[in-house]
Amino acid sequence: MTSTRQDGDTWDLASGVGTTATAAAAARAIATREGPSLFADPFAEPLVRAVGVDLLTRLASGELPPGDLVEQVAIDVAKVRGKFYDDFFLDAGSTQVVILASGLDSRAYRLLWPAGTVLYELDQPQVVAFKTRTMAELGAEPTADRRVAAVDLRDDWPAALRDAGFDPARPTAWSAEGLLGYLPPEAQDSLLDTVTDLSAPGSRVATESRPNPKPGDEARTKESLNGVSERWRARGFDPAMAKQRYFGERNEAAPYLAARGWTLHGTTVRDLLAAVGLPAPEDDGMRLGDLLYVSGTLDESQVPSSRVGRECLGRF
Ligand code: SAM
């Protein structure tokens, strides 16, 4: 199966790439029910319900058990991933925050941000408009000065960010969660370059760095994604998961950022899960266990550096 992605394609939360945001929120809703002491997102379930995809609503609400529709490892990863980004922002203490590809992320409404925080959310126009409207209907109030920019992250998004009030002279905490695989390789590089260009010294970043595939990995990944898509299709909703991603070689995000002056520390999904007593993923070709969650700081000097936290990453 090949990607059906095209330059300039667009979506809402029930179609195309948008379904990945709704599926991620459904996983957070299930994760919240299973282990609220580790990670809790009380807005995930009502947001998924508002999107109106019946299968995802039933999974998010608990009416339908995850069974073979949402693998336990996906639920466990939602817990550690959610906690990783929550901890990143809480530790960063920055008062200028940019959440790239915000999807149904509710951090602008549920984290305790430092006084005076301005938080920018960037995603496709229908995605940001939907969340703004739905959260207002739910009676939720942002816990920071939340501003949105409706953009295509493959295009000139910095202009929209600046128009919304972003100040590149102030240190920023950036996240790009669950985004990079949905960008073409050159757009990923360009996005990471732009994040670096817009970052004052002392800025922070958090994202994922996926190891490049070994021969045969991608075929197995597609098979795995197609298996999930088929099971969902049998329940009335086809997310065509393998068609939403861009496959093939690309620059790995961690070394790419390190070469641009970021000092990073990373932890594999396997280690994040083990640290809270959850089992490692099986190797199904997606090499999920090897996926790195990375965070770090732009050096004061911005001198390109390969000082990635080797003791943590162990791969560079
Ligand atoms: N960060 C959110 C989370 O973790 O729940 C959403 C992750 S979801 C897997 C991918 C998100 O990336 C979607 O919200 C999608 O709309 C956004 N996205 C992907 N490509 C994009 C693009 N070219 N422009 C704007 N948003 C994009």
What pLDDT does 307 receive? 37
pLDDT in tens, 76-100: 999 999 999 999 999 999 999 999 9
- Per-residue pLDDT of 127-175, as tens digits, reads 999 999 999 999 999 999 999 999 999 999 999 999 999 999 999 999 9
Regarding the beta carbon of 123 and ligand 1, being less than 6 Å apart is answered yes
Provide the pLDDT confidence category of residue 3 given band limits of 50, 70 and 90. low
Q: Which atom of ligand 1 is nearest to the CA of 104?
A: 5
Q: What is the pLDDT of residues 256-273, one digit of tens each?
A: 999 999 999 999 999 999
Q: Tell me, using a 6 A CB cutoff, whether residue 18 lines ligand 1.
A: yes
Q: How far is the CA of 178 from the centre of ligand 1 (A)?
A: 7
Tell me if 127 CB under 6 Å of ligand 1.
yes
Q: Which of 44-53, 239-248, 280-289 has the lowest mean pLDDT?
A: 280-289
Distance from residue 51's CA to the centre of ligand 1 (Å): 15
Residue ID of nearest Cα to ligand 1 atom 16: 18
Q: Is the pLDDT of residue 225 over 80?
A: yes
Tokens, residue 154 = 């493959």
Contacts of 116 (CB under 8 A, 6+ apart): 95, 145
Instruction: Output 142-145 pairs: Cβ under 8 A, ≥24 positions apart.
Output: 142/108, 142/109, 143/108, 143/109, 143/110, 143/111, 143/112, 143/113, 144/97, 144/108, 144/111, 144/113, 144/117, 144/118, 144/119, 145/116, 145/117, 145/118, 145/119
Binding site membership of 101 for ligand 1 (Cβ less than 6 Å): yes
Mean predicted lDDT score pLDDT of the chain: 92
CA-based nearest residue to 239, from 247, 225, 229, 252: 229
Residue nearest to atom 8 of ligand 1 (CA): 21
Q: Is the pLDDT of residue 111 over 90?
A: yes
> Is 118 in contact with 147 (CB distance < 8 Å)?
yes
Span from the CA of 22 to the centroid of ligand 1 (angstroms) = 10
